[in-house]
Amino acid sequence: MNGQGVNGSHSNGRYAQITGWGSYVPEKILTNEALAHVVDTTDEWITSRTGIKQRHVAGNERETTAVLAARAGREALLVAGLPPSRLDLIMGATATPEYMFPSTASLVQDALGARAAGAFDLSAGCSGFLYGLNMGMAAVRSGMADHILVIGAETLSRIVDWSDRNTCVLFGDGAGAVVVSVCTDRCGVLATELGSDGSGGQLLILPAGGSHQPASLESVSSGGHFVKMNGREVFRFATTVLPKATEAVVRKAGWQLADVALVIPHQANTRIIESAAKRLNLPMDKFFINLERYGNTSAASIPIALTEAVAEGKVRPGDKLVLVGFGAGLTWAAAAVEWGVPPARTTRTFLDRLLAQLGFFFAGIRSWILRSERHAYNWAMGPVGKDDWRGHLRQRLDVWRSKVRRRFTRRD
């Protein structure tokens, strides 16, 4: 896809800056050594072929994609110093949503108390976060939105076949998020590059559970609800698109490759990143890598890596960054970002944290009240449109309730 229409020269003086970032991973760690007790593999094989040493995995059924996403979103909002009520939109990129519907983003909207925000999920495999960043940039620059939360969140441990050594060693769970806000200085997300080649869709796929093969006894017994991957083909695809997308987005931003301070690639395999570095003729120290600790967290990998790169002081104001990824679809995506946030802006006091936590606590209470009220009302009033005194009372009360609800859910 051509991102020309949203590049710098057409910005109307509105730019889309990353003002907040955050990540969250489950506590439970699964090392290569521990995995070697589960499938026929070794630490030596996984390390030498992928670079991965360990991954975080959801430790209990309460650690779901929406929970990880909400935690990463909270961190990002805290860094941005933005109350959730000022968000216009929440985008959740995930291949492992909480449900087919409602969207994980809607659940996060409720958990955060983002009363004025629209919310939706998007599916672009491991490129999903950068697809979201692209849409976030376009919405902010066009004036459609001022503040957007883009989240990449996954619980891939729930969809990998733990008896398939070709895939289970690669993936991990986690979430990362950024707040994209309007600014008037020329900085932030300056250009993007998106691409797709659906002819390779079968190379990385979760075959069952959709309209092609709905859930059935057979789909379950044949393992259709687990990730299937042709590793070699995906490897070949990744080593081609990673350098190409990087070059394309650098060109669109009007930069030279030599201007780039740091490339934050999708964290799938060190060998893929090394191959891209070679093709781009860039030294490896220009690539941020943390996959040895997380494995491939799909849509979450780039925002988790960005958050760590900032925390480690590897991103400074004025730095030119390239975020670049690839994944199921097949898809690829890249973003050219000029970092604009001074480090001092990102340190939050104890009081800031406390106030934010209180806000999230009240968001939980608000959600509980809304749900309880809906249940109690439906129970007390019976079915809609019934021609008796309860039906007539319900009709009157519905008008009153919608007025109250509007007041309760509107922006501050």
Which residues are at the interface with ligand COA (CB under 6 A)?
41, 45-46, 49-50, 126, 165-166, 169-170, 204, 229, 231-232, 234-235, 238, 268-269, 296, 327
Is-contact 92 117, C-beta < 8 A? Answer: no
Cα torsion through 272, 274, 279, 282, rounded to 10: 140
CB closer to ligand COA, 41 vs 85: 41
Provide the minimum distance between the beta carbon of 1 and ligand COA in the complex, in angstroms, as a whole number.
19
CB closer to ligand COA, 20 vs 132: 132
CB closer to ligand COA, 45 vs 255: 45
- CA–CA separation, 314 and 317 (whole Å): 10
Provide the minimum distance between the beta carbon of 277 and ligand COA in the complex, in angstroms, as a whole number.
16
269: CB partners within 8 A, 6+ apart: 49, 50, 51, 52, 170, 235, 238, 291, 296
Catalytic residue among 7, 32, 134, 296: 296
Provide the minimum distance between the beta carbon of 275 and ligand COA in the complex, in angstroms, as a whole number.
11
CB closer to ligand COA, 229 vs 336: 229
DSSP readout, 104-162? HHHHHHHHHT-TT-EEEEE--GGGHHHHHHHHHHHHHHHTS-SEEEEEEEEEGGGTS-T
- CA–CA separation, 34 and 36 (whole Å): 5
Provide the minimum distance between the beta carbon of 310 and ligand COA in the complex, in angstroms, as a whole number.
23
DSSP state letter for 9: G
Within 10 angstroms of residue 181's Cβ, the number of other Cβ atoms is 23
- CA–CA separation, 82 and 76 (whole Å): 9
Provide the minimum distance between the beta carbon of 133 and ligand COA in the complex, in angstroms, as a whole number.
17
Within 10 angstroms of residue 366's Cβ, the number of other Cβ atoms is 15
CB closer to ligand COA, 201 vs 231: 231
- CA–CA separation, 239 and 272 (whole Å): 6
Question: Active-site residue 187, yes or no?
Answer: no
- CA–CA separation, 33 and 335 (whole Å): 36
Catalytic residue among 7, 32, 126, 269: 126
Provide the minimum distance between the beta carbon of 42 and ligand COA in the complex, in angstroms, as a whole number.
6
CB closer to ligand COA, 112 vs 204: 204
Provide the minimum distance between the beta carbon of 374 and ligand COA in the complex, in angstroms, as a whole number.
40
Question: Active-site residue 183, yes or no?
Answer: no
Distance of CA 146 to the CA centre of its chain: 19
Q: How many residues does the chain have?
A: 412
The residue of the chain with the least Cβ separation from ligand COA equals 231
Q: Where are the beta strands (DSSP E) in 295-369?
A: 320-327, 331-338
CB closer to ligand COA, 4 vs 42: 42
Residue among 365, 360, 319, 324 nearest 340 (CA): 319
Question: Active-site residue 126, yes or no?
Answer: yes
Could you tell me whether strands 29-31 and 89-93 are parallel, antiparallel, or unpaired per DSSP bridges?
Answer: unpaired
Active site (catalytic) residues: 126, 266, 296
